[in-house]
Structure 1
């Protein structure tokens, strides 16, 4: 662990947490490999707060597994997929045949877009992480978009009203990206009861582990109860494995088979699977990872308030800040070596900033008041 990071965390409320992770026992080879990999991660001196990554992962347990299994990279990975599938099924009380593991949840979401989009339209909010829907549209599927409510939350009533004939899939990201807003569990369950008799409900729960009550906020119990629901999860966020591309879906056996028939790869990334298997039940790391995210989020919200600005309520590892011009703020921050997101299409009045390393969040927090005065005073 770099000295600067260690000293920073020593004074933070996370003391004894991330600073105590035993990464020093992983061997000099891992440290040397990381130092010699300039093509990955932030540029030198950059505070990378634009991509919702968790730089406190992968877990030490995952790094050990990567080092131990790298020499097996010449082999395909079906047994590793089977093991991770069984672990996920056991935790969530479903059959292994109800779990689909893919190269990140993106592959699975794209497969769903194709499989269901060829049967009918995909109904979705106007603003959400729509990369996979856009992929489907490029392949000829139809997407029906419903505007957000006035408070920037997903308009469940408006979506339910559109979920009629011709809609094969209803897709939601909960909590939503880029807004960070969580749909209350009761409201989403009521919505599911209304739409699933007519269409499959897909809930992307990429940020579920970062919500206040992850189990209550998940719709996996609806799958166990036989509802026509697909839940997608990822190792990219709380596990800190965005670059290792491991994700999964939990749904009915029939839906799972349908998804598998549209996957674009087989087996998977050996290192990613080994890391996922090793860290899936690594509770100490997950607790420390979550604590770092929550601390970073609090730092951002405090900085926003001190700058006289407002932000949407977030249950994720990013915050959607209301600003006069998101692109102007992005460019001004870039001059300081701080990377944040610019405008999302016509939503130019909101700026998304991710939690990132705490020392990088501190750089954003220090710069924000000055930037807002310079740009809009």
Structure 2
């Protein structure tokens, strides 16, 4: 075993000191071109339900100030955010689960509950995490929407059997943008929760007309077997920072944590979430921008002689003869919107609110393109 002498120790110390004093290398400027993140140059990005007015200034300051601590894990920060969420919603911190976006939490739930039984869900909703579970062998049972494109709670209730372990609902729904009336959803959950866990994805709750009334967290406080998921990706404008959370019973929370795939969280995201969680000025401004953009879209829809579903989100589901044709035509003008969600829904086109200047481009193009495509 080598012996450390005073001379060798001082030599090593001098080396470390020299490294610390050495100037950092000067990096050559990257060539100008398309940005690594966000819209391409000149593109109106209206396809992904992002809030391009975020993150809040409070979040950006927190990211900058915390960057030098990026060598450390996020334990205390995650504990602080957990406590903040728990205090606001009147639950114990042990009932709150933080994840890398709500996506990670929803995937964990799909695995944890999918190993015990089937996932019952609508046939059109944000089902990416259910599809993830299906790839791991989880079974899903899909129920058609009602004729008006709303979630058919009666049809869902009729499918709740002993073989169902989880009922998953997105409210407001994505991609339709439609909100289930709070009283109807509460009655459904009260009836279904004794038979299977009810999971309610409330990613867009803060954008609804009455967020507190439409929230289902009171069902968790009342002791029902309910999980509510939320995210910082939408109204908080932090989609790329990946922070989400679930509120549920302590037993459910422990079960979810056992299936999470990350460790500790993203330090920049956690810092930003702590700083902006109670930033009501930013949240109010974001909501105002969304509502203005949504009104612009609805006005353009009417001018184009089209109709759209009633939306309580930062996107609109527009009824068109061919969603893919409209997507392609908009794409030729540098405007990105969604195409059809499968053959069954070719007649609906989803457009997000985005920056108001970009929404204005869509609003100006829609009547002209509708006339050109469909007369």
Cα distance in structure 2, aligned partners of 1:200 and 1:84:
25
Secondary structure in 2 aligned to 1:80? helix
Q: Which residue number corresponds to residue 144 of structure 1?
A: 141
Once the two structures are superposed, the pairs formed by residues 244-323 of structure 1 within 5 Å of their partners are 244-323=241-320
Once the two structures are superposed, the pairs formed by residues 161-180 of structure 1 within 5 Å of their partners are 161-180=158-177
Q: Which residue number corresponds to residue 207 of structure 2?
A: 210
Cα RMSD, aligned residues only: 1.3
Q: Is the 8 A contact 2:207 2:314 kept in 1?
A: yes
Secondary structure in 2 aligned to 1:320? strand
Cα distance in structure 2, aligned partners of 1:78 and 1:127:
37
Cα distance in structure 1, aligned partners of 2:247 and 2:360:
37
Cα distance in structure 2, aligned partners of 1:356 and 1:318:
9
- Give unmatched runs, 5+ long, in structure 1: 1-31
Largest Rg, 1 or 2: 2
Cα distance in structure 1, aligned partners of 2:39 and 2:33:
13
Cα distance in structure 1, aligned partners of 2:292 and 2:304:
18
Secondary structure in 2 aligned to 1:203? strand
Cα deviation for residue 36 of structure 1 reads 9.2
Q: Following TM superposition, where does structure 1 have runs of at least 4 consecutive aligned residues deviating by more than 4 angstroms? A: none
Cα deviation for residue 65 of structure 1 reads 0.4
Secondary structure in 1 aligned to 2:145? coil
Cα distance in structure 2, aligned partners of 1:290 and 1:240:
11
Deviations 1:89-123 (A, max 9, x none): 00000000000000000000000000000000000
Q: Is the 8 A contact 2:119 2:139 kept in 1?
A: yes
Q: Is the 8 A contact 2:122 2:142 kept in 1?
A: yes
Q: Which residue number corresponds to residue 223 of structure 2?
A: 226
Q: Which residue number corresponds to residue 74 of structure 1?
A: 71
Cα deviation for residue 83 of structure 1 reads 0.4
TM-score, scaled to structure 1:
0.90
Cα distance in structure 2, aligned partners of 1:227 and 1:165:
18
TM-score, scaled to structure 2:
0.91
Cα deviation for residue 164 of structure 1 reads 1.2
Cα distance in structure 1, aligned partners of 2:225 and 2:299:
41
Deviations 1:180-216 (A, max 9, x none): 0000000001100111010000000000000000011
- Give unmatched runs, 5+ long, in structure 2: 1-28
Cα deviation for residue 157 of structure 1 reads 0.1
Cα deviation for residue 37 of structure 1 reads 8.3
Deviations 1:59-105 (A, max 9, x none): 00000000101111111111111000000000000000000000000
